[in-house]
Chain A
Amino acid sequence: QSVLTQPPSVSGAPGQRVTISCTGSSSNIGAGYDVHWYQQLPGTAPKLLIYGNSNRPSGVPDRFSGSKSGTSASLAITGLQAEDEADYYCQSYDSSLSGSRVFGTGTKVTVL
């Protein structure tokens, strides 16, 4: 099982703000390693959404933002839109697993 825990699902009405947490430990997020976020639309490959905790790749709307504190990280989506309905995964590095890159358990965002 993953060492990064996310809520299985979150939901919100169009225009609302939702947040997704990614909880780790002292061997990954808490050790200072960067957290990245991916969006996976139904039936498609994951797409990099946030890198280095809070940076957006070119083309990603500023409605998406990331933050990190202690052993956790968060992804916020403001002004939720129907097209944001997807699965979201966090990812980091874990020093206790011989240099393994680890993904979160994933969160399904539903737009009501």
Chain B
Amino acid sequence: QVQLQESGPGLVKPSETLSLTCAVSGYSISSGYYWGWIRQPPGKGLEWIGSIYHSGSTYYNPSLKSRVTISVDTSKNQFSLKLSSVTAADTAVYYCARHDHSGYDDFDYWGQGTLVTVSS
């Protein structure tokens, strides 16, 4: 059973960098698949942020690309998100998910999500 768990600060100050980590269990990241981040502002819809392969190859949402960095640590079986220069508009629940990029291109396993609030 593939399981994902997000972790990181729940409160970030404006203009600072949001940092989250997703720990994967039940599946080795090195075995394949892309691994992605999706966010959902309170009361709003879903927005794909970007995805990474175990080799480090990445795809980012063009609207966020200038501020996003996704990295992977295969030794710890986890991947991470950094979003710089945050504003209140970045307040959202952030989900990590397994991205079947080479198959149907869906997100088949999701973490429970973590709320990040941007506020001074």
Query: In the complex, are the beta carbons of A34 and B45 less than 8 A apart?
Result: no
Interface check B73, CB cutoff 8 A: no
Contact string, A79-110, partner B, CB cutoff 8 A, digits 1/0?
A: 00000000001010100011111111110000
The residue of chain B having its C-beta at the shortest distance from the C-beta of A52 within the complex is B104
Q: Which of A43-75 contact B (CB under 8 A)?
A: 44-48, 51-52, 55, 57
Which residues of B sit under 8 angstroms from A45, Cβ to Cβ? 95, 110-113
Count, chain A residues at interface, CB 8 A: 27
Count, chain B residues at interface, CB 8 A: 24
**Beyond A45-B95, A46-B95, A100-B62, is A34–B104 a contact (Cβ under 8 Å)?**
yes
Q: Which of A1-15 contact B (CB under 8 A)?
A: 2
**Beyond A45-B95, A100-B61, is A57–B108 a contact (Cβ under 8 Å)?**
yes
The residue of chain B having its C-beta at the shortest distance from the C-beta of A34 within the complex is B104
Contact of B106 among A91, A98, A106 (CB under 8 A): A91
**Beyond A45-B113, A98-B62, is A103–B108 a contact (Cβ under 8 Å)?**
no
Query: In the complex, are the beta carbons of B95 and A99 less than 8 A apart?
Result: no
Question: In the bound complex, what is the Cα–Cα distance between A103 and B38 (angstroms)?
Answer: 10
Which residues of A sit under 8 angstroms from B95, Cβ to Cβ? 45-46
The residue of chain A having its C-beta at the shortest distance from the C-beta of B96 within the complex is A45
What's the least CB distance linking A98 to chain B, in Å? 5
What's the least CB distance linking A28 to chain B, in Å? 12
Query: In the complex, are the beta carbons of B45 and A105 less than 8 A apart?
Result: yes
- 29 pairs, CB–CB < 8 Å, chain A vs chain B: A2-B45, A33-B105, A34-B105, A36-B104, A44-B112, A45-B95, A46-B46, A46-B95, A46-B107, A47-B110, A48-B106, A48-B107, A48-B108, A48-B110, A51-B104, A51-B106, A51-B108, A52-B106, A89-B46, A91-B46, A91-B106, A99-B59, A100-B48, A100-B61, A101-B36, A101-B48, A102-B48, A103-B45, A106-B45
Residue numbers of B with Cβ under 8 A of A are 36, 38, 45-48, 51, 59, 61-63, 95, 99-100, 104-113
Known pairs A89-B45, A91-B107, A100-B63 / 12 extra A-B pairs, C-beta < 8 Å: A33-B105, A34-B105, A38-B46, A45-B110, A45-B112, A51-B108, A93-B105, A99-B59, A100-B48, A101-B36, A101-B99, A101-B105
